[in-house]
Structure 1
Amino acid sequence: MMNRRKMIWSSLGLGSVAALAGFGAVASVAHARELKPFTLSGRALGTKVSLLVLHNDEGAAQAALSDALAEVQGVDKVMSLYRDDSQVVALNRAGELARPDARLLEVLRYSQDLADRTHGAFDVTVQPLWDAYTQAKAQGGLPSADTVRTAGALVGWRDLDLSEEAARLRRPGMAITLNGVAQGYAADRALAAVRRHGIEHALIDAGEFDTLGRKQQDKPWVLGVQHPRESEQIVMRLAMDGRALATSGDYETYFTPDFVNHHIFDPATGHSPLELSSASVLAPTALQADGLSTAFMVLGAERALALAATLPGVDALLIGKNGQTFRTPGLPALTA
């Protein structure tokens, strides 16, 4: 499974809050309601999950955090490729899944809509390409051209049928991965959980980022976008305005040290896209941000920016392999 740990530096965990989000002495948020920070972490969907809420009641905060983590882990149970008992693994194994979980259907339907919007640039059926590359890497190389063509012939989002009765892959050998959307969806579920507990200020990191309220009474949450080639360098800091943030890039999981071959595939070619090294997206939900960041990597700067301009509440920061940056006008950027 692709490990798409993002290039966004989280401000979860009190040390990194001070360093990356300018949180300062976190106890100083004790403004009118004496808000205090409460955190919880775990693992799901192949990554660390970190949750932070600000509240004046420890019991309520801990209950919110517990429910939020349970939501993320619930998504993991249904959508992870790391679990032999997940519904995604069952679908890939049998080619058909009866009565799919409502959460799985929601994510797959969004994915199919995004595939349609991007003319197939986003496609959850690229898993055969991932399998081909990882198997070749285990043998010390890259897959042959014939192997890529064979795997690519199994990719096709239109051959995934969805209904409440069943999810079906029409052709033997097809398989899906939800790495481009599951973490974002999990972040949204976690955020909804803390809202249900009356939490007004939170920062959710489930591999993608959701924010609620502010980190201080007069200051927003701030997240930094890491340079794709310099791990200690921040390209831009973003003042979060209630939207979600996701980044896809070429350097976290790659098959060649020049980052030409990595975990994101262009379904049309069977190879990794060549223009961008990273794509960061702000969107109304983390599910949207997650899917769009992958799609934008495949589309390239010109087509990605054109699509972003048609989507309400969507902004993007794109970084080319040559270091050139592209951004939408509404990006809430601070100086790096």
Structure 2
Amino acid sequence: MKRRNFIQASLGLGIWPMAVTAQHQALIWRDITFTGLGTVLTLRAAHVDAKALDFALQRARKVIERIEDEMSLFRPDSALSRFNASGVLIRPSADLLKILRISQYLAKRSHGAFDVTVQPLWQLYAQAQKEGRLPAADEVDQARKKVGWQRLLVTADRLAFAQPDMGVSLNGIAQGYAADQVRASLVRDGVAHALINTGEWAAIGLAEGKRPWMLGIADPHRADHWLTRVTMQGWSLATSADDQCMFSADRKHHHIFDPHTGYSPYDIASVSVAAPTCTVADALTKVLFVGGYDRAMHLAKAWGVLALVVLKNGNWIASDNFPHAAG
């Protein structure tokens, strides 16, 4: 799945001034870039001890590898791939169990707007695309009947589907979950400041050790244009957009599905959500997408998060307290 990065570190955050205070001279910085979770990941982190920092970054990469082993649909031997193939998984891992329980809670509270069992729809559209067409209405209807979070059975001992031919995709939440898990790992290892990009974004401390991390949110239809800058003061940030994975050139059909209809929401081009955790931010981009432009700000307020929502025509609206950067 090809993804464009809709959030980027903004305004020269990779350039560190030579003149710094003695307090900040003690910080050692490292940057690493690697692939995982279907995208390019980056970590920038600081610690007062070089060996401890290197160890912390190694452990952070192992966190990503662990999550991929459990949740990646790009790996045929992952726990999730094996579950989808057999319909049953005995004694799921703590990570997989946790993310599925969170997903089921979000599905219930959103009345099914967020639903990890949309995998049959993804498979249908992907296969039709290979054949150079869009799915017929009756095909969409048949795939939609295989979707339903209530028919995903989640217990500590066993995962199972209540009907045949169901499937789970965690692509709508796993990157956010990974950001939270990496942040927790870095904090445990004593990292003082970090910017974490797993496809979604989380932060620790401050940029340069003295000012808030700042990110830019891209226009979904103009790759060289940035809508606004955001300060990461206590927030995690996630974005979903209609051109991250398209099934039609007009972007009417893409990877975000309304589980109730089997089609992509018609009016929104992108949603960015700022939330206390990246797991929630990631999932709620889909909830607001499905809810539609007119309800997006109401839904954001109801969930206790902040949002920026872009219409297909390029107009956009943001929550009153969305963390825009000044200047």
The answer to whether the superposition gives a TM-score over 0.5 is yes
How do residues 121-160 of structure 1 correspond to structure 2 at under 5 angstroms?
Answer: 121-160=113-152
Where in structure 1 are there 5+ consecutive unaligned residues? 12-19
Tell me the residue number matched to 1:17: none
1:25 and 2:24 aligned: no
Which deviations, in whole Å up to 9, do the C-alpha atoms of 1:90-137 show, x marking residues without a partner?
Answer: 111111110011111111111111111111111100010010011010
CA change 1:231–1:248 in 2 (3 A) is: same
2:77 partner SS: coil
In structure 2, what is the equivalent of residue 90 of structure 1? 82
Distance in structure 1 (CA, Å) of the matches to 2:201 and 2:12 = 17
CA spacing shift, 1:317–1:310, aligned 2, 3 Å: same
Q: Secondary structure at the match of 2:285?
A: helix
Q: CA deviation at 1:72?
A: 1.2
1:68 equivalent in structure 2: 60
Query: Which residue of the other structure, out of 203, 219, 228, is the alignment partner of 1:227?
Result: 219
Larger displacement relative to structure 2 (154-163 or 218-227): 218-227
> Offset of 1:162 from its aligned partner?
0.6
CA distance in 1, matches of 2:252, 2:99: 29
Q: 1:44 to 1:108 in 2, by over 3 A?
A: same
Corresponding residue for 1:332?
323
Match in the other structure for 2:299: 307
**Equivalent residues of 1:159, 1:170 under 8 A apart:** yes
One-letter amino acid of the structure 1 residue matched with residue 309 of structure 2: L
- Determine the structure 1 residue equivalent to 2:195: 203
> Which residue in the other structure is 1:269 paired with?
261
Matched residue, 1:16: none
Other structure's SS at 2:212 match:
coil
Specify whether residues 267 and 183 from structure 1 end up closer, same or farther in structure 2 by C-alpha distance, changes over 3 A only: same
Give the CA RMSD over aligned residues.
1.5
1:113 counterpart = 2:112: no
Count of residues paired in the alignment: 325
Deviation at 1:56, TM superposition (A): 2.8
Residue 15 of structure 1 corresponds to which residue in structure 2? none
Give the whole-Å Cα distance in 2 for the aligned partners of 1:47 and 1:259. 20
Aligned partners of 1:276 and 1:318 also within 8 Å: yes
**How far is 1:335 from its partner?**
5.5
Deviations 1:177-198 (A, max 9, x none): 0001001111111111110111
1:48 CA displacement = 1.5
Aligned counterparts of 1:96 and 1:257: Cα–Cα separation in 2: 37
CA shift for structure 1 position 275? 1.1
TM-score normalized by the length of structure 2: 0.95
CA distance in 2 between counterparts of 1:167 and 1:310 reads 31
How far off its partner does 1:276 sit? 0.6
Per-residue CA shift, 1:148-199, capped at 9, x if unaligned?
1111110001000110010111110000100010011111111111101111
CA distance in 2, matches of 1:111, 1:304: 20
Matching residue's letter, 2:12: G
- 1:4/1:159 CA distance change after superposition, 3 Å: farther
**Partner of residue 100 from structure 1, selected from 87, 92, 95:** 92
Give, in whole Å, the separation in 2 of the partners of 1:64 and 1:184: 19
Shift, 1:301, TM fit: 2.4
Structure 2: distance between partners of 1:304 and 1:72: 31
Find the partner of 1:237 among 229, 233, 236. 229
Listed as ranges, the matches of 1:186-201 within 5 Å are 186-201=178-193
Distance 2:4 2:79 in 1: 22
Match of 2:205 in 1: 213
Is it true that 1:284 corresponds to 2:276 in the alignment? yes
Residue 287 (structure 2) aligns with? 295
TM-score when scaled to structure 1?
0.93
Contact preservation (8 Å) 2:24, 2:208? no
Aligned to 2:48: 56
Instruction: Report the Cα offset of residue 304 of structure 1.
Output: 2.7
The equivalent position to 2:239 in structure 1, one of 233, 247, 263, is 247
- The verdict on how the C-alpha distance between 1:25 and 1:48 changes in structure 2, with shifts beyond 3 A counting, is closer
Q: Please name the residue that 1:8 is paired with.
A: 7
Q: Distance in 1 between matches of 2:249 and 2:165?
A: 29
In the alignment, structure 2 segments of 5+ residues that lack a partner are none
Equivalent position SS for 2:177:
helix
Q: Is the 8 A contact 1:26 1:36 kept in 2?
A: no
